Amino acid sequence: MTTLSYQACFFIAVTSTLAFNSQAENDALTDLINPESSVSLGVSTTDGDREQWGIYDGVRDSENTLLFNADIVKRDDSGRWLKLNARDLGFDSRSLELSFERQGAWGVGLDYQQIPHSVPYSIESATVGLGNQTQTTPLSITPGTAANVELGTERERIGINFFKYLNPLLNLQVSFKNDNKSGERHWGYRAGSGGQVHFLAEPIGSNTRQMDAKLDYLGSQLQLTGGYYGSLYDTDSSLVTAISASGTDYLSSNLDNQAHQFYLNGGYNLTPTTRATFRASYTHATMDERLPTANILGLADASAPSSIDGEVNTSLLFLGLTARPIKNLSLVAKMRYHEVDDETPALLIVPSRSIHIKPNDYKTISAKLEGSYRLPDGYTLIAGLDQRNQERKGEAHIVPSRTDLDETTYSVKLRKSLSNSLNGSIGFSTSRRDGSNYEPAENPEENVLNPINIADRDRDKWQLSLDWVVSDKLGLQFNYEYSNDDYGPNANPNGLTEGSARLLALDADYLINDDWRLAAWLSLDKTKASERVTDYGANFATIEFERRSHLIDKGSSVGAQIDGQVNRKLKLGAKAEWTRSQSEFNDNNDPGISAPDTPLPNIKSTASKLVLFAEYAVDKKADVRVDFIYQDWRTNDWIWEFSDGTDFSYTTTGGTRVIADPNQTATFLGVSYSYKF
């Protein structure tokens, strides 16, 4: 071959490469100017029991469902966009978003979402008027002879949003959401004074409105966002009258309330390497609806209030600073002030039973300082200090309380770029929480408690992570975390004594070839908590009962996924995953004080899922897709069972029975046709 021929081949190759790149860029530009839309239509069938799997999609057992999805995006030459996104329109968990905007000028959007929630068990009950404001429990009925009841709630949420660019630096955004919730929720009460437990269904009918209006300023050095956020909650029913053989009882539900917040957030670039940020907000929340029981003649005590007159004011201030004073050093400093001022009066609602409204005030100051320094050989050292101080004030205490609570955390982490393909880090933090002496509770019986949220605690935590690119085809990620809590010799005997948590996660990605990809993952977690419970005799002179429990929660999850292109038209994929959760109670009574109780059995639940799909390209515009899903859920949870293994029932009050299926298996098969345009 002559030199000219080599030059000609080189010219042709370069020209072809440039032409190919130019064509790819043109295709990408065409997709931006004329984006692709798609519509998918199909049918599906579900067979089996899936009460647990169908809590949030509304499909509890066998049924046929329409499959309808759409993603439509249109743009004209003047820069006007029309977008429509519809998901799962054939299911109860459907959503729809519609927006219209003028690029760089303004836009308006509308969205709709339906969110179901079904209880994962079955109920048989003879209670009359379930879900109404008056419910009557009949005399004893044999369990198993009452009618079936399906309980659940449904949310319908409609949102409207609008934005307008006032000028290149100012942007106005306004949004409104209206959320209606309806349905019935599992409820119950003890009739009379120390009477039998009765089953009811709480009527759910509420409306929540949320409004957010903000103005953004985006300058080269100063950026600001300020606005208003409001929430208003109204309920249709705040009182339920429960009638039984023991008499008439009145149960209060949620009360109307509202909250209004004004906020201002911002940032300022002090220098090219130094930036300051801040946040400030004030929230005023009230609950001043008349108490529903105040309208019932002779029910309320003469000294009881007719309204809570609830008022809570919350203030938040935050200051932050990030800087790089020298080449290898970066600093972060933060300070946060949070105050909750509860102006609700301390009211005695039911004098005969010492039921109070107990307002509590909190003032919390948090500070953090963190530094990062780049060392030689690819090392980076990160060290930090966190300080949290809280002042707590309340008119009365149900459990022992503290007026001051302090927590200090020290942390250090070392990162290393081990090579171009291997990076890792190891970190350690230790914290100590303590505070002032305990303030006694109203009832002396509660003074033996050591509340978990304010108890003295020492916590140590380790963290290790690795990211390894083994080859061009294989990548691995590894993460391990361990923490240990020690509550020490606290003054009050009842409460947690120690705890620990472990987490191990491993992820892998493998590129089999240009057409096929494989992914796999594994995670293991274990949480332990040891607690002490002591029951004292009269006047706390003797110990009648003492139990030590070692609670353990274990979780396991493993899965794999493969998908790829069989040929130009056919694409296949499969995913399998398995999870297990186990709760262990390990109750040990002190045999020298009392006879040991029968220990609670462990609870174990497993969930398995297999997903298969095939997608065939009929032509450049149309695809046919087939999806198959197998789901299996098994448990030995005894919460809704008696000790002999029979279904839980209200044996002397209406014969209500709660039935939880311990083994649930279901299959899903769907076929859909998708068209792109």
Domain boundaries, the chain: 1-33, 259-294+303-364+371-384
User: In the prediction, which pLDDT does 357 show?
Assistant: 64
Distance, CA of 117 to CA of 493 (rounded, Å): 40
The pLDDT tens digits of the residues spanning 404-441 come to 999 999 999 999 887 777 899 999 999 999 999 988 87
Mean pLDDT of all residues in 305-330: 93
Mean pLDDT score across all residues of the chain = 87
**Phi first, then psi: what are they for 219, rounded to 5°?**
-95, 175
Residue pair 264/226 in contact by the 8 Å Cβ criterion: yes
Q: What percent of the chain has pLDDT over 70?
A: 88
Give the mean pLDDT of 182-191.
Answer: 88
**Of 301 and 595, more confident:** 301
- Mean of pLDDT values over 25-38: 66
- Residue-wise pLDDT for 57-90, tens only, equals 889 888 999 999 999 999 988 889 999 999 999 9
- Of the two residues 25 and 179, the one the predictor is more confident about is 179
pLDDT of residue 60: 87
End-to-end CA distance of the chain: 49
Q: How confident is the model at residue 11 (pLDDT cuts 50, 70, 90)?
A: very low
Tokens of 44: 């599906």
Question: What pLDDT digit, counting tens, does each position of 512-563 carry?
Answer: 999 999 999 999 999 999 988 877 665 555 666 677 788 999 999 999 999 9
Structure tokens at 580: 């297990």
CB of 484 within 8 A of CB of 476? no
Amino acid (one-letter) located at 604: K
Sheet bearing 657-659, strands edge to edge = 147-149, 122-125, 657-659, 648-649
Enter the tokens of residue 557. Answer: 């999850």
- Which residues are CB-contacts of 629 (< 8 A; sequence separation ≥ 6)? 609, 610, 611, 612, 667, 668, 669
Indicate whether 24 pLDDT > 90.
no
The pLDDT score that the predictor gives to residue 13 is 41
Residue 596 confidence (pLDDT) above 60: no
What gap in Å lies between CA 311 and CA 288, rounded to an integer? 8
Question: Based on the number of CB atoms within 10 Å of its own CB, is 53 exposed (0-12), middle (13-18) or buried (19 or more)?
Answer: buried
Pick the more confident residue, 535 or 94. 94
Give the confidence band of 300 by pLDDT, cuts at 50, 70, 90.
Answer: low
What is residue 652's predicted lDDT score, i.e. its pLDDT?
A: 66
pLDDT of residue 9: 40
Residue 384 has pLDDT above 50, yes or no: yes
CA-to-CA distance for 429 and 370, rounded, in angstroms?
A: 13
CA-to-CA dists, residue 132 to 184, 236, 271, 562, angstroms: 9, 11, 64, 51
| Cβ(487)–Cβ(449) below 8 Å | no
Alpha carbons 368 and 522: distance in angstroms, whole number = 34
* pLDDT (0 to 100) of residue 553: 96
Q: Which of the pair, 215 or 188, is modelled with greater confidence?
A: 215
Burial 564-591 (b: 16+ CB within 10 A, else e): eeeeeeebebebbeebebbbbeeeebee
The reported pLDDT for the residue numbered 257 is 95
Q: How far apart, in whole angstroms, are the C-alpha atoms of residue 262 and residue 278?
A: 14
Q: Which of 146-150, 282-286, 388-392, 472-476 has the lowest average pLDDT?
A: 146-150
Neighbours of 306 (CB within 10 A): 11
Average pLDDT rounded to a whole number, residues 259-282:
96
3-state helix, strand, coil in the chain (%, to 5): 5, 65, 30
pLDDT for residue 19 is more than 50 = no
Q: What is the spatial distance between Cα 113 and Cα 430, in angstroms, rounded to a whole number?
A: 44
The predicted pLDDT at position 549 comes to 82
Per-residue pLDDT, averaged over 341-351, amounts to 74
